[in-house]
Amino acid sequence: MDKTKAAYVEGTISIVVNAVLFALKMWVSIVTGSIALAADAWHTLSDSLTSIIVVAAAKFSSKKADKEHPFGHGRWEQLAALFIAVALGIIAYEFLKSSIEQFALGEQGKAVFGMAAIVITALSIVIKEGMAQYAFYLGRKYDNASITADGWHHRSDAMSSIPVLIGILFAKQFWWTDSVLGIIVALMLFYATFKILKETIDKFLGEVPSAELINKIKEELMKMYGSDLNIHHIHLHNYVLHKELTFHIRLNDNLTIEAGHRTASEVEKMIEENFQMTATIHVEPLR
């Protein structure tokens, strides 16, 4: 399974499962009059909508590079992650607002829960955490930002259902349980929004190459040239399906221009073969 197919599989499973969970949660929320369960239901449905974005992004990002987009279309994945974060933020705001309004009603806003609410909420927690783990696995394996973002959406849904379940169990003792739970769910959604936005924006602005990547490159260069070649000023330009690595190398002052060019070309070839990145190298004298 390649990167694009992984997104298709994860997205399709998410769409189907979330649609079923949404129907069950919404039914229970109508029966009980619970705003927290309604919020949880719409959060689940939003997972289906964002999974559609994941599938669409996978299709767009798999397109080959062209004249207008010489680095490919891989950043559609990061754009999809941004769309997911915005969707989460809007949902969070709406349910925070609704929960505060319900709290202001006092006893009049009290919800009445039954066994169906307990069973469906507990089942949702288990299923959504399982889906989150699956999405995280695929996101790591195929380095796909939108799948990982979808995983956080699944995780936030599972987490938001936990306080809802606890609240259902204690709803008879405290009239304000449903309203407070709605607020908690909304805050969790805001946190998920922040986390996805931070990761995605960091990639758009430019990443610092990991220490692990730098050390592996240095190890390969040590095998090729021993201590005769030093690298510094390393930058990574991530276009998702295409990655550009730029850095400086210091060479012996006595080398000819031709020899220095040959060394740089050898290093670029090694980077391409071993790390699947296109390297651009600036040569400096060793002083």
pLDDT at 130: 92
pLDDT at 77: 67
Answer whether residue 241 shows pLDDT above 60: no
Residues 47 and 147 placed together within one structural domain of the fold: yes
Residues 44 and 69 placed together within one structural domain of the fold: yes
Residues 192 and 217 placed together within one structural domain of the fold: no
Residues 75 and 104 placed together within one structural domain of the fold: yes
Residues 55 and 171 placed together within one structural domain of the fold: yes
- Long-range contacts of 112-119, Cβ-Cβ distance < 8 Å, separation of 24 or more: 112/32, 112/33, 112/171, 113/32, 113/34, 113/168, 113/171, 114/31, 114/32, 116/28, 116/31, 117/28, 117/31, 117/32, 117/34, 117/37, 117/168, 118/165, 118/168, 118/169
Residues 256 and 166 placed together within one structural domain of the fold: no
Q: Which of 179, 205, 231 is the last residue of a domain?
A: 205
Categorize the per-residue pLDDT at 108 as very low, low, confident or very high, splitting at 50, 70 and 90. Answer: very low
Q: State the total domains in the chain.
A: 2
Residues 264 and 185 placed together within one structural domain of the fold: no
Categorize the per-residue pLDDT at 105 as very low, low, confident or very high, splitting at 50, 70 and 90. Answer: low
d(CA 194, CA 92): 11
Q: Which of 16-20, 53-57, 90-94, 233-237 has the lowest mean pLDDT?
A: 53-57
Answer whether residue 284 shows pLDDT above 60: yes
Residues 66 and 180 placed together within one structural domain of the fold: yes
Residues 140 and 254 placed together within one structural domain of the fold: no
Q: What is the pLDDT of residues 256-279, one digit of tens each?
A: 788 878 888 888 888 888 877 777
Mean pLDDT value of segment 164-180: 73
Mean pLDDT value of segment 209-216: 79
Q: Which of 154, 178, 205 is the last residue of a domain?
A: 205
Mean pLDDT value of segment 164-182: 73
CATH code, domain with 220: 3.30.70.1350
Categorize the per-residue pLDDT at 1 as very low, low, confident or very high, splitting at 50, 70 and 90. Answer: low
pLDDT at 26: 87
Residue 166: give the domain boundaries. Answer: 3-205
Answer whether residue 69 shows pLDDT above 70: no
pLDDT at 68: 60
Answer whether residue 11 shows pLDDT above 70: yes
Q: What is the pLDDT of residues 77-102, one digit of tens each?
A: 677 777 778 877 887 787 788 778 76
pLDDT: is 131 or 29 the higher one? 131
d(CA 147, CA 14): 11
**Average predicted confidence (pLDDT) for the chain:** 76
Q: What is the pLDDT of residues 220-230, one digit of tens each?
A: 878 887 766 77
Categorize the per-residue pLDDT at 59 as very low, low, confident or very high, splitting at 50, 70 and 90. Answer: low
d(CA 197, CA 88): 11
Q: Which of 175, 205, 235 is the last residue of a domain?
A: 205
CB 129 within 8 A of CB 158: yes
